[in-house]
């Protein structure tokens, strides 16, 4: 006698007489061991049943184990019946998260034959996300396992399973009233309405699939763009130090229209350093020292800039300015960093009297961005830098 529709048991306080039952519907793992020839529909939890390995000396039971695998791809296996494939497309896939970072999967047990292991849905590696299997041990004749997120597909999977089980054992499992839902026995108006709604549903599913593909492709492109941004010269103004930061400052000043020279390439071995860069705009010129720190900029660097300026002027010509460009607290968020040489106003004032300008790389980043966006003309940006002394302020 079929008991599937008579009672719903949330917990099994006592051991049932399993031989009196035909089907168990389990939300999660059953709380008690099973026995008999039960057919099981299980939603989530640890999969029941086991495969048996026997030898002359022992019998070993291999239970199914779930694995967490990265990726969001879903693959409908080839060879599914039309009814099973329709269930997977129409009900199972829409019930699952469309783009998770990882999914729970099952690998086919080595002791399971292909006939006893039928995935309904797989990932790209061929691991089962939903599966029908027939374990030799563990109290289940057949198990339909769906992931826990597929609880909304319970009714459709019940209809599908009972149709298949009806073909196997019609006395125990009633079939669905197929003729009642067959458009052959409907009026023309009913048939047209049903077919119209089904067409709308199919179109909506196609649109969902298209949008999902668009989102996936967009996320991949976004990741690529963000990686490119990390490597851009402008971003290095906020993150780097040493030669990489010097290169980023050279890029920024060149983009603003200055003629920039890498002074380290002008110094022979054993000669004193003249600074990192020279910056020219017609007859105007400045010598630039560039520093990057995980902590704050150092006031003693201003003395170094002045010394390098004297070396440069002795070898070449007098300059109008000396610039100290610093990327301080470079590991911190730019939004939370103190200003350049914050708290060293006396040193900044002395530096300004010698035509010195201290420039925070954040301000240089913003100045370059204003020029690239068209807010500020490059000539105006150069003039802003050329005319200031002390601590640079972006206006």
The domain that holds 369 is classified in CATH as 3.40.91.30
Q: Which residue has the tokens 């002791």?
A: 111
Residues 146 and 24 in one domain: yes
- Of 149, 157, 158, the closest CA to residue 72 belongs to 149
Angle at the Cα of 214 from the Cα atoms of 224 and 373, rounded to 5 degrees: 50
Residues 173 and 246 in one domain: no
Q: Which residue has the tokens 């006592």?
A: 14
Asked if 287 and 319 touch (Cβ cutoff 8 Å), the reply is yes
Q: Exposure string (b/e) for 270-304, b if CB count within 10 Å is 16 or more?
A: eeeebbbbbbebeeebbbbbbbbeeebbbbebbee
Residue 187 lies in a domain: no
Q: Exposure string (b/e) for 30-65, b if CB count within 10 Å is 16 or more?
A: beeebeeebbbbbbbeebbbbbeeeeeeeeeeeebe
Q: What is the DSSP letter of 137?
A: B
The helix/strand count (H/E) of the chain reads as: 10, 15
Residues 36 and 146 in one domain: yes
Dihedral angle, C-alpha 359, 362, 364, 369, nearest 10 °: -160
Residue 207 lies in a domain: no
CA gap 368, 21 in Å, rounded: 76
Distance between the two ends of the chain, CA-based, in angstroms? 86
Three-state secondary-structure class, residue 349: helix
Residues 170 and 239 in one domain: no
Residue 215 lies in a domain: no
Residues 160 and 238 in one domain: no
Residues 84 and 151 in one domain: yes
Residue 205 lies in a domain: no
Residue 186: the pLDDT is 84
Domain boundary residue, one of 134, 156, 178: 178
Residues 40 and 110 in one domain: yes
> What phi, psi does 15 have (nearest 5°)?
-70, 115
Q: What is the residue range of 304's domain? A: 234-391
Three-state secondary-structure class, residue 20: helix
Asked if 73 and 176 touch (Cβ cutoff 8 Å), the reply is no
Number of domains in the chain: 2
Residues 167 and 241 in one domain: no
Residues 313 and 377 in one domain: yes
Query: Both tokens of residue 332?
Result: 């911190």
Residues 159 and 269 in one domain: no
Local confidence pLDDT in tens for the 395 residues of the chain: 333 344 444 555 566 666 677 888 888 887 666 666 788 999 998 888 888 877 777 777 777 888 888 877 899 999 999 999 999 999 999 999 887 888 999 988 888 888 889 999 999 889 999 999 988 886 688 999 999 999 988 889 998 999 899 888 888 887 665 666 677 778 899 888 988 998 898 888 889 888 988 888 888 888 777 666 556 888 899 999 999 999 999 999 999 999 999 998 888 888 899 999 999 999 999 999 999 999 999 999 999 999 999 999 999 999 999 999 999 999 999 999 999 999 999 999 999 999 999 999 999 999 999 999 999 999 999 999 999 999 999 87
Domain boundary residue, one of 178, 213, 248: 178
Residue 82 lies in a domain: yes
Residue 219: the pLDDT is 85
Residues contacting 392, CB < 8 A, separation 6+: 340, 357, 358, 359, 360, 363, 385
Residues 172 and 247 in one domain: no
Domain boundary residue, one of 178, 194, 222: 178
CA distances from 180 to 183, 185, 197, 371 (A): 8, 7, 17, 71
Residue 119 lies in a domain: yes
Residue 3: the pLDDT is 38
Residues contacting 363, CB < 8 A, separation 6+: 392, 393, 394
Q: How far is CA 48 from its chain centroid?
A: 33
Residue 225 lies in a domain: no
> What phi, psi does 293 have (nearest 5°)?
-135, 145
Residues 147 and 61 in one domain: yes
Residue 48 lies in a domain: yes
Residues contacting 394, CB < 8 A, separation 6+: 363, 366, 367, 384
């Amino acid at each position: 006698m079929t008991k599937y529709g008579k009672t719903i048991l949330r917990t099994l306080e006592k051991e049932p007489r399993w031989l009196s039952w035909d089907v168990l519907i389990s939300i999660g793992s059953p709380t008690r061991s099973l026995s008999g020839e039960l057919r099981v529909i299980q939603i989530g939890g640890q999969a029941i049943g086991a495969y048996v390995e026997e030898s002359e000396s022992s019998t070993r039971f291999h239970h199914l184990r779930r694995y967490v695998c990265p990726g969001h791809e879903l693959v409908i296996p080839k060879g599914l019946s039309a009814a099973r494939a329709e269930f997977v497309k129409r009900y199972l896939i829409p019930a699952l998260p469309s783009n998770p970072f990882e999914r729970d999967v099952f690998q086919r047990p080595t002791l399971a034959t292909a006939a006893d292991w039928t995935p309904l849905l797989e990932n790209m590696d061929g691991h089962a996300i939903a599966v029908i299997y027939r374990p030799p041990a563990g109290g289940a004749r057949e198990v339909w396992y769906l992931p826990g997120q597929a609880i909304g597909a319970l009714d459709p999977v019940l209809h599908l399973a009972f149709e298949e089980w009806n073909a196997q054992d019609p006395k125990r499992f009633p079939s669905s009233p197929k003729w009642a839902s067959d458009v052959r026995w409907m009026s023309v108006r009913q048939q047209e309405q049903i077919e119209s709604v089904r067409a709308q549903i199919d179109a909506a599913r196609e649109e969902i699939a298209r949008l999902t593909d668009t989102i996936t492709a967009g996320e991949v492109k976004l990741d690529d763009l963000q990686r490119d941004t990390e490597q851009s010269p402008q971003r290095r103004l906020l993150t780097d130090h040493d030669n990489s930061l010097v290169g980023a400052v050279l890029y920024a000043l060149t983009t603003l229209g200055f003629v920039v020279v890498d002074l380290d390439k002008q110094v022979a071995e054993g000669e004193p350093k003249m600074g990192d860069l020279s910056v020219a705009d017609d007859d105007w010129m400045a010598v630039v020292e560039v520093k990057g720190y995980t902590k704050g900029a150092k006031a003693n660097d201003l003395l170094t800039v002045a010394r390098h300026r004297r070396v440069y002027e002795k070898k070449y010509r007098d300059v109008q300015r000396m610039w100290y460009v610093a990327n301080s607290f470079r590991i911190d968020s730019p939004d939370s960093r103190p200003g350049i040489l914050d708290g060293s106003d006396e040193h900044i004032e002395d530096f300004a009297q010698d035509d010195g300008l201290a420039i925070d790389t954040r301000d240089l980043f913003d100045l370059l961005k204003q020029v690239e966006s068209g807010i500020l003309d490059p000539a105006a940006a150069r003039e802003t830098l050329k005319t200031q002394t002390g601590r640079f302020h972006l206006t």
